[in-house]
């Protein structure tokens, strides 16, 4: 039996376990990336591990999230990251160099290698055939120290793309169609691979848009073959020597197959407040628009930007619309300026902001009250823009640019001929905003600002675990709900005690106070609890508040791993009726918890007693021997230290 693309990369990096679906495996990590929103914590954890120099082939720290410096906090974090990376052998991408995923695929990604990033959109580099996976900061810290990365062997999904995209249809429409078919939880425990004759017509930036938003499926990662298109892109980046061909065997077996006819696709849009609420642009035609934001790690490539400039050329942004454009990297920004496309954008009335995540993460450019905002980013979760009453729609850059001119959602087919852009034969290469690590690490002083506080570390699991139900949530609760990440809170990513006072407040403003008043307890979650960002702060803040376990109908992959990494029990209801029976402040107890957790490795249920109502209910805890050890020790750091002590 042949192998898929992912299986080949996993085979070549396999350190332990067998490639059987559901079995825990560990793989060697070639590259890592961090960004400043998650990076400060990742490097604090790396320092705690005690490895003097990173052991990966390449590690890069990016500054792209916390770009608004309205106080000292963000600048202090940037200085800490710059000095700690210089000391430990990590490259530092300075503020202004660009969004981590855009820069990494341009300058550092290598087909066939593994990449682990402390950002959920790390799979972007699957667009050039990397096995690129998002994870929590602690997992990335361990990988930088030379440790393996553990996952359950995923199922394989093949999406066959037939024919070519028609006029005005885009790569964004392809991934929105995939989301419509699979939903935001349809990719959990799966790797999505793309195949078919339609690949030949898709550029690397288009492929990257698709793999980037594959994160919204809940998938472990998404990947394209490394083919002639990949080769030409890398040659144009001056990196042709890293190319290698990579494709699935003809007799590879997939667990799931989906086929999409590109010729039949029309412009699509994801309605508020979830990326899988997909309808045609035609259905929303005439909807008045207040804001358009073009950029983010999904659609900020030169390819996207040149098409936007062509649409805007000769037009003026509608007086009722604010158009904001953020190029994805310094390379893109530079080339826009040199080609004159930047002048076309400015002349039309676009507001050009720096190369960073910006509006996508609510870091500036929040829309007005009750606004309709069309955005090219990957998430439209409730409140993520910074304005709770705003309605965020996810669209292609072309649809956003047309709406910026017309003032309403417009089927671009009614606007005129679509812009045609050719990929450049060579990109402008200038890596002067990437700082190499020190050649004399002992001389580097790590600078720590006053906002950087120690992160919480759990204790060994008690024999009996008890606590009250502190909150009961609905399905699809995101890490934005669990740990809000707006412009006011992002500067405190290195200060977990402060952030904890905002934990789960979008769901219930009284949660932090209730958790403190009751000495911690349990969170009750619905299906797909913890979807979205990889931020481990969504586990660290509950830990700070004394949360001992989360009992949910199901979990998103990265968040479940982050809970285990921090010694918080992630339990899954065996019977959905038990979820319905629980009420706020019910007192729960897990008796003989340590033995029950050990028995869970063999598939036995973990029994929970509802002391308030006088009944027991069963939960599942799908863990390996290693994860069992982590939970018993109170998290990965404690477990690692215990192993080191013998």
Q: Residue 480 falls within a domain, yes or no?
A: yes
Bridge partners (DSSP) listed for residue 408: 288
Q: Are residues 205 and 107 in the same domain?
A: yes
pLDDT attached to residue 69 = 85
CB 393 within 8 A of CB 371: no
Q: At residue 640, does pLDDT exceed 90?
A: no
Domain-embedded: residue 131: yes
Candidate from 129-133, 171-175, 377-381, 627-631 with smallest mean pLDDT: 377-381
Please give, one letter per residue, the 3-state secondary structure of 357-396: CHHHHCCCCCCCCCCEEEECCCCCCCCCCCCCCCEEEECC
Range of 388's domain?
A: 268-413
Residues 525, 473 share a domain? yes
pLDDT of 533 above 90: no
Helix or strand or coil: residue 128? helix
Which has the closest alpha carbon to 424: 344, 339, 298, 300? 339
126 burial via Cβ count (<10 Å: 0-12, 13-18, 19+): buried
Helix (H, G, I), strand (E, B) or coil at 31: strand
Residues 231 and 352 in one domain: no
Cα dist from 581 to 314, 468, 548, 575, 616, whole Å: 61, 14, 20, 11, 11
Is residue 454 domain-resident? no
pLDDT at 641: 80
Cβ contacts of 34 within 8 Å, gap of 6 or more: 42, 43, 59, 60, 61, 62, 81, 100, 117, 118, 119, 137, 140
Ramachandran angles phi, psi of 552, nearest 5°: -135, 165
The last residue of a domain, from among 231, 264, 297:
264
Residue 207 lies in a domain: yes
What pLDDT, in 10s, does the model give residues 562-614? 999 999 999 999 999 999 999 999 999 999 999 999 999 999 999 999 999 99
Residues 254 and 281 in one domain: no
Note whether 555 and 530 are within 8 A (CB): yes
Q: How many residues does the chain have?
A: 646
Question: Does the pLDDT of residue 485 top 90, yes or no?
Answer: no
Element (H, E) at 257: strand 256-261
CATH number at 561 reads 3.20.19.10
Average pLDDT over residues 174-185: 97
Domain match, 293 and 170 both: no
Among 220, 240, 264, residue at a domain's last position? 264
Inside any domain, residue 422: no
Sheet harboring 91-93: ordered strands across? 131-134, 114-117, 31-35, 58-62, 91-93, 434-435
469 vs 588: CA distance, rounded Å: 7
Residue ending a domain, choose from 413, 428, 444: 413
* DSSP sequence for 288-307: B-SEEEE-TTTS-SHHHHHH
Task: Transcribe 184-197 into DSSP letters.
Answer: TTTTBTEEEEEESG
Evaluate whether 69 touches 75 at the Cβ level (below 8 Å).
yes
pTM summary value: 0.92
Task: Work out the average pLDDT over 344-360.
Answer: 94
Considering the domain architecture, whether residues 345 and 360 belong to the same structural domain is answered as yes
Would you say residue 501 lies in a domain?
yes
Distance (Å, whole) CA 242 – CA 109: 9
Within 448-512, strands assigned E span: 465-472
The pLDDT value recorded for residue 360 is 87
Tally of domains within the chain: 3
> Is 420 a member of any domain?
no
Average pLDDT, integer, range 47-59: 95
Q: Which two tokens stand for residue 60?
A: 């890069």
So what's the pLDDT on residue 401? 98
Statement to judge: residues 75 and 189 lie in one domain: yes
Decide if 220 is inside a domain.
yes
In tens, the pLDDT along 368-396 reads 999 999 999 999 988 888 888 999 999 99
Question: Over 129-157, what HEC string results?
Answer: CCEEEECCHHHHHHHHCCCCEEEECCEEE
Per-residue model confidence (pLDDT) at position 67: 85
Contact 550, 571 (CB under 8 A): yes
- What was the pLDDT predicted at 646? 61
Residues 6 or more apart in contact with residue 235 via CB below 8 angstroms? 243
Q: Are 318 and 225 in a shared domain?
A: no
The predicted-structure confidence for 535-572, as pLDDT tens digits, reads as follows 899 999 999 999 999 999 999 999 999 999 999 999 99
What lies within 8 Å, CB to CB, of 147 at 6+ separation is none
Q: pLDDT exceeding 90 applies to what percent of the chain?
A: 88
pLDDT at 467 over 80: yes
First to last CA, the chain: 41
Q: What is the torsional sign of CA 562, 67, 488, 215?
A: negative
CA 458 – CA 463 distance, rounded (Å): 15
| Residue whose C-alpha is closest to residue 39's, from 446, 641, 536 | 536
643 pLDDT higher than 80: no
Tens of pLDDT, residues 306-340: 999 999 999 999 999 999 999 999 999 999 999 99
Same domain, 481 and 569: yes
E-only strand ranges, 144-237: 149-152, 155-162, 190-195, 221-223
Structure tokens at 317: 């942004």
Decide if pLDDT at 486 tops 90: no
Q: What stretch of H or E contains 59?
A: strand 58-62
Same domain, residue pair 188 and 276: no
The CA distance from 532 to 544, in Å, is 21
Q: Do 260 and 284 share a domain, yes or no?
A: no
Mean pLDDT of the chain: 95
Q: Would you state the structure tokens that stand for residue 172, as one six-digit string?
A: 């964004």
144 — pLDDT class (breaks 50, 70, 90) = very high
- CATH number, domain with residue 260: 3.30.499.10
Q: Are residues 249 and 273 in the same domain?
A: no
Give CA–CA dist 75/347, Å, rounded. 32
């Amino acid at each position: 039996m042949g192998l898929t693309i992912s299986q080949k990369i996993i085979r070549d990096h396999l350190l332990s376990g067998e490639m059987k679906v559901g079995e825990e495996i560990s793989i060697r990590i070639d590259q890592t990336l961090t960004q400043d929103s998650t990076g400060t914590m990742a490097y604090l954890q790396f320092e705690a591990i005690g490895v003097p120099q990173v052991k990966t082939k390449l590690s890069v720290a990016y500054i792209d999230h916390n770009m608004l410096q309205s106080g000292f906090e963000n600048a202090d974090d940037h200085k800490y990251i710059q000095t700690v990376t210089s000391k430990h052998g990590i490259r530092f991408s300075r503020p202004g160099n660009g969004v981590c995923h855009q820069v990494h695929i341009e300058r550092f990604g290598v087909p066939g290698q593994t990449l682990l990033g402390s950002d959920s959109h790390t799979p972007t580099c699957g667009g050039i055939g990397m096995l690129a996976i998002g994870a929590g900061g602690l997992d990335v810290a361990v990988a930088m120290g030379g440790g393996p990365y553990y996952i359950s062997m995923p199922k394989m999904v093949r999406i066959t793309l037939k024919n070519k995209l028609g006029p005005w249809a885009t790569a964004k429409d392809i991934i929105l169609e995939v989301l419509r078919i699979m939903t935001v939880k349809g990719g959990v425990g799966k790797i999505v691979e793309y195949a078919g004759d339609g690949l030949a017509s898709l550029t690397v930036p288009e492929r990257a848009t698709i793999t980037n938003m594959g994160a919204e499926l809940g998938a472990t990662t998404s990947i394209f073959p490394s083919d002639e298109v990949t080769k030409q892109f890398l040659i144009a980046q001056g990196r042709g020597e890293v190319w290698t061909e990579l494709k699935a065997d003809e007799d590879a077996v997939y667990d799931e197959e989906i086929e999409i006819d590109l010729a039949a696709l029309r412009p699509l849009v994801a309605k508020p407040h979830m990326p899988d609420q997909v309808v045609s642009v035609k259905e929303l035609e005439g909807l008045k628009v207040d804001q358009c934001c073009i950029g983010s790690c999904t659609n900020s490539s030169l390819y996207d930007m040149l098409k936007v400039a062509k649409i805007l050329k000769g037009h003026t942004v509608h007086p009722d619309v604010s158009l904001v454009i953020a190029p994805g990297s310094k390379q893109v920004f530079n080339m826009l300026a040199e080609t004159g496309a930047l002048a076309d954008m400015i002349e039309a009335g676009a507001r050009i902001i720096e190369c960073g995540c910006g509006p996508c993460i609510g870091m500036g450019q929040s829309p007005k009250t009750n606004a309709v905002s069309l955005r090219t980013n990957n998430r439209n979760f409730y409140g993520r823009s910074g304005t709770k009453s705003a309605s965020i729609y996810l669209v292609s850059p072309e649809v956003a640019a047309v709406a910026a001119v017309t003032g309403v959602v417009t089927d671009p087919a009614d606007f005129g001929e679509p812009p045609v852009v050719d990929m450049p034969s060579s990109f402008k290469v200038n890596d002067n905003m990437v700082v190499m690590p020190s050649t004399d690490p002992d001389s580097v002083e790590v600078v720590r600002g006053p906002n950087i506080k120690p992160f919480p570390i759990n204790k060994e699991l008690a024999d009996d675990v008890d606590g009250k139900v502190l909150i009961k949530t609905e399905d699809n609760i995101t890490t934005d709900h669990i740990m809000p990440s707006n412009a006011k809170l992002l500067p405190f990513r290195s200060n977990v005690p402060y952030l904890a006072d905002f934990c789960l407040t979008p769901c219930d403003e009284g949660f932090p106070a209730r958790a403190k008043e009751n000495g911690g307890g349990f969170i009750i979650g619905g299906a797909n609890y913890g979807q979205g960002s990889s931020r481990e702060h969504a586990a660290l803040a509950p830990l700070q508040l004394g949360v001992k376990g989360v009992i949910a109908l199901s979990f998103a992959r990265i968040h479940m791993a982050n809970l285990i990494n921090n010694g918080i029990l992630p339990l899954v209801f065996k019977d959905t009726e038990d979820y319905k029976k629980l009420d706020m402040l019910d007192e729960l107890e897990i008796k003989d918890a340590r033995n029950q957790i050990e028995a869970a490795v063999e598939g036995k249920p973990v029994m929970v007693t509802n002391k308030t109502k006088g009944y027991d209910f069963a939960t599942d805890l799908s863990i390996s021997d290693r994860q069992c050890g982590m939970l018993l020790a109170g998290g990965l750091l404690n477990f690692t230290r215990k192993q080191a002590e013998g």
